[in-house]
Structure 1
Amino acid sequence: MDNLILSSATVGIVISLLAYEIGLAAQRKGKLAVLNPLLISIILVIAFLVVFHVDYESYNMSAKYLSYLLTPATVCLAIPLYLQLDLLKKNIVAILVGVFSGVLASLGTVLAMSVVFGLNHKEYVTMLPKSITTAIGMGVSEELGGYVTISVAVIIITGVLGNMAAEFICKLFRIKSPISRGLAIGTSSHAVGTARAMELGEVEGAMSSLAIVVCGLCTVIGASIFSYLW
């Protein structure tokens, strides 16, 4: 099986897409937040690699072409933002303050938890980009000297958890404003959370898309500063 994947440029892609389709089918049928397609596809791919003794590097070589679509897919999130441009202009101050607060909360939490659990510097900077999209987070982690692969895993886990818990948390804290809901989801759980925000409404999706961009830029700067604090 390892040799088959190494000799093909598409086997890894087929496995990944098939696993995601199974996740989508499970979500449509079960209609539960825990049945997140991305989470299910990750579990299925890991199970496949373990059962058939496939080396991760072999799988990654065959599936890496999917990663090339990550950046253009993130850029496409600008479309719903453009459609809500007037709303953005009317609430620009509240939006910026909300996103900046979210970025500081994210970086501050990583710093506090690193101190509590005694993480070393490399482990600490690995966690700093946890709440920004993978396309940006990988570069931040590499620049700061962190473990890039672990950063990717942490970013995905953060996004999946945000996707699953977003609606429940908004109801728990009675957050009813579409703008507030979208900004909170996008700032805390990047593109994966934004997929959930778009399901909640057009305004939520647009604000979440905006949060991804602003949060990414602020985290690039903020993470560089916070990297000197531990």
Structure 2
Amino acid sequence: MNPLLIGTILVMVLILVLDVEVAVFQKSAQVLSDLLTPATICLAVPVYRQFKILRENSWVVLISCLAGMISGLVTIIGLALILQMSEITTLSTLARSITMAIALDTTELIGGVAGIIVAGVIFAGIFGTVVSGLIFRIFRIEEPIAKGLALGAASHAMGTAESLKASELQGAMSSLAMVISGVVMVGLIPLAALFVQ
């Protein structure tokens, strides 16, 4: 079982059982939130070490990231139309496939709700890491470059952590996909928001 999923469930149960107010929990967990940015920056180390391979596969990286970003936006807009989600809910879920720090700022910029995007990002990260092994087996995906790009684009930091367990190359590809997706989505999400409004 995925340790991140278990940890998330345990924290939620403890908050409910101990009747901890959300504001108190957020204040006490702020130190961990503050460490997100430095932890994300540390992901540049495997990218640097694998730079030669990244450069040799630059088109694969760019096309994979672009495909992941577009499919993510189309999926959420499609689901919003099918499920008749409100405008605010749709705006609050557009950034669910990028890393938390960028997703929060981008969502607030387009008028979304921070709490919804936090849940969306966590769900995307956990779901992607939990089902990725099965998906890779079903589609017989064995190439670490492909696995890393998929996990980084779809499951951001959680997918990157999972990729780093497999190999430094897979982790580097995942880091790169996460960074490229985050940077480009900052521009794409406001455009997608115009379509939603």
TM-score, normalised on structure 1?
A: 0.83
* One of 156, 159, 167 as aligned partner of 2:122: 156
Partner letter of residue 52 of structure 1? L
* 4+ long deviations beyond 4 Å: none
Measured after TM superposition, the shift of residue 93 of structure 1 is 1.1
Between the aligned partners of 1:65 and 1:202, the Cα distance in structure 2 is 28
What's 2:94 paired with?
Answer: 128
Q: Deviations over 1:108-133 (max 9, x none)?
A: 10010000011121111111111110
What's 1:78 paired with?
Answer: 44
Measured after TM superposition, the shift of residue 61 of structure 1 is 1.2
> Does 2:107 correspond to 1:177?
no
Give the share of equivalent positions with the same residue, in percent.
38
Measured after TM superposition, the shift of residue 42 of structure 1 is 1.8
Q: Return the index of the structure with the highest Cα Rg.
A: 1
Measured after TM superposition, the shift of residue 229 of structure 1 is 1.0
Asked if structure 2 preserves the Cα contact closer than 8 Å seen for 1:122 and 1:146, the reply is yes
Measured after TM superposition, the shift of residue 198 of structure 1 is 1.2
Q: Deviations over 1:131-179 (max 9, x none)?
A: 1100110001110111111101110111011111112211111112211
Partner letter of residue 152 of structure 2? G
SS of residue paired to 2:92:
helix
What's 2:131 paired with?
Answer: 165
* One of 202, 205, 210 as aligned partner of 2:168: 202
SS of residue paired to 1:228:
helix
Structure 2: segments with no counterpart, 5+ residues: none
- Greater relative contact order structure (CA < 8 Å, 6+ sep): 2
Between the aligned partners of 2:151 and 2:77, the Cα distance in structure 1 is 21
Structure 1: segments with no counterpart, 5+ residues: 1-34
**What is the 5 A alignment of 1:10-89?**
35-89=1-55
Measured after TM superposition, the shift of residue 92 of structure 1 is 0.6
Measured after TM superposition, the shift of residue 47 of structure 1 is 1.4
What's 2:185 paired with?
Answer: 219
What's 1:7 paired with?
Answer: none
Asked if structure 2 preserves the Cα contact closer than 8 Å seen for 1:125 and 1:144, the reply is yes
Task: State how many pairs are aligned.
Answer: 196
Between the aligned partners of 2:141 and 2:26, the Cα distance in structure 1 is 40
SS of residue paired to 2:96:
coil
SS of residue paired to 1:229:
helix
Asked if structure 2 preserves the Cα contact closer than 8 Å seen for 1:163 and 1:195, the reply is no
Q: Deviations over 1:25-56 (max 9, x none)?
A: xxxxxxxxxx2222222211221121122211
Between the aligned partners of 1:36 and 1:175, the Cα distance in structure 2 is 20
Asked if structure 1 preserves the Cα contact closer than 8 Å seen for 2:89 and 2:116, the reply is no
Deviates more, 1:35-44 or 1:123-132: 35-44
SS of residue paired to 1:86:
helix
